[in-house]
């Protein structure tokens, strides 16, 4: 297990460029499509699928905007758009980020909880190594290990306001299998959320369309005032992923 503690410095505000002017309405950045398509030629030894992936990356406006704003991945905009819609990241909030690597969601969480003279407490975990994020405590650790919840709760030092889960198992290409795997991760993340969330806390987790989550969502609706499905614009059209957003946790935290 590796723990990395950032310096607490605040990063750039999403959607702001030089002079602090916002790139779009609300709290998020405006991301627009390119006018010109960059085409990638198939190189010797490169698979066709790799060529398609590279071309998609080069022509993805979210990838370009992430680089401009210093985010580690385009996925940062998924959290920005979800928070713009549901407003769950508050100044001074305690946030747990599961499946944090490479750190895009953690960066956004730090930025959006550091405001109005308040500083949030952000704790992230991933089985993959990642560089330190200023203002966050990061663990290189498997969340499915028995000791993982205790590590997170100790670092959090109090009940969580939000539990984020962008965890995803390695894709097999078999849709039903991939769906079951990600749902298993989601169930584990929700069970953890029930342990650490403060009253009125929120849970945001990745799901794949598959139709077997009915029972899980029914249980969540008993524990949260609001449970919604959302697919942020930054989530690619061809992707089966979406997010479950649960707000207003009814139970008292057990921490």
CATH code of 82's domain: 3.40.50.150
Which single residue is written with the structure tokens 């198992």? 169
Establish how many alpha carbons lie within 13 A of residue 190's alpha carbon, considering only the half-sphere containing its beta carbon. 27
CA distances from 152 to 1, 182, 192, 227 (A): 12, 21, 10, 25
In this prediction, residue 8 has a pLDDT band, given cuts at 50, 70 and 90, of very low
pLDDT at 2: 37
pLDDT in tens, 122-175: 999 999 999 999 999 999 999 999 999 999 999 999 999 999 999 976 666 666
pLDDT at 172: 65
- Comparing 211 with 66, the larger pLDDT belongs to 66
Is 118 annotated as catalytic?
Answer: no
Tell me if 81 is assigned to some domain: yes
Tell me if 55 is assigned to some domain: no
Q: Give me the domain span that covers residue 239.
A: 74-249
Tell me if 57 is assigned to some domain: no
Tell me if 20 is assigned to some domain: no
Tell me if 30 is assigned to some domain: no
* pLDDT above 70 (res 24): no
User: What sign does the CA torsion over 157, 159, 164, 169 have?
Assistant: positive
Lowest mean pLDDT among 30-39, 72-81, 221-230: 30-39
- Note the pTM of the prediction, 2 decimals: 0.76
* pLDDT above 70 (res 30): no
Tell me if 48 is assigned to some domain: no
In this prediction, residue 236 has a pLDDT band, given cuts at 50, 70 and 90, of confident
Which single residue is written with the structure tokens 């139709």? 211
Catalytic residue among 44, 206, 221, 254: 206
Tell me if 213 is assigned to some domain: yes
Q: Are strands 94-98 and 197-208 parallel, antiparallel or unpaired?
A: unpaired
Lowest mean pLDDT among 19-23, 141-145, 170-174, 210-214: 19-23
pLDDT at 25: 36
pLDDT at 7: 34
How large is the average pLDDT for residues 209-221?
76
pLDDT at 62: 83
CB crowding 164-190: b at 16 or more within 10 Å, else e: bbbbbeeeeeeeeebbebbbebbebbb
Tell me if 242 is assigned to some domain: yes
How many independent structural domains does the chain possess?
Answer: 1
pLDDT at 61: 78
């Amino acid at each position: 297990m590796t723990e990395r503690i950032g310096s607490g410095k605040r990063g750039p505000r999403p959607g702001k460029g030089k002079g602090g002017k916002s790139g779009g309405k609300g709290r998020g950045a405006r991301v627009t499509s390119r006018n010109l398509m960059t085409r990638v030629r198939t190189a010797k030894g490169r698979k066709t699928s790799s060529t398609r992936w590279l071309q998609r990356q080069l022509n993805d406006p979210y990838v370009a905007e992430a680089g401009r704003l210093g985010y580690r991945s385009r996925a940062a905009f998924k959290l920005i758009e979800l928070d713009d819609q549901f407003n769950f990241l508050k100044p001074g909030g305690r946030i747990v980020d599961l499946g944090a690597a490479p750190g895009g969601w953690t960066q956004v969480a730090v930025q959006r909880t550091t405001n109005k003279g308040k500083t949030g407490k952000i704790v992230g975990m991933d089985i993959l190594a990642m560089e330190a994020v200023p203002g966050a405590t990061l663990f290189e650790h498997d969340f499915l290990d028995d000791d993982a919840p205790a590590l997170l709760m100790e670092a959090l030092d109090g009940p969580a306001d939000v539990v984020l889960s962008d965890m995803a198992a390695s894709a097999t290409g078999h849709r039903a299998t991939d769906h079951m795997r990600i749902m298993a991760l989601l169930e584990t993340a929700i069970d953890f959320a029930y342990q650490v969330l403060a009253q009125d806390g929120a849970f945001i987790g990745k799901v794949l369309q598959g139709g077997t989550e009915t029972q899980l969502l029914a249980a969540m609706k008993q524990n949260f005032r609001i449970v919604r499905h959302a697919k942020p614009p930054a989530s690619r059209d061809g992707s089966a992923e979406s997010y479950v957003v649960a707000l207003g946790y009814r139970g008292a935290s057990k921490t």
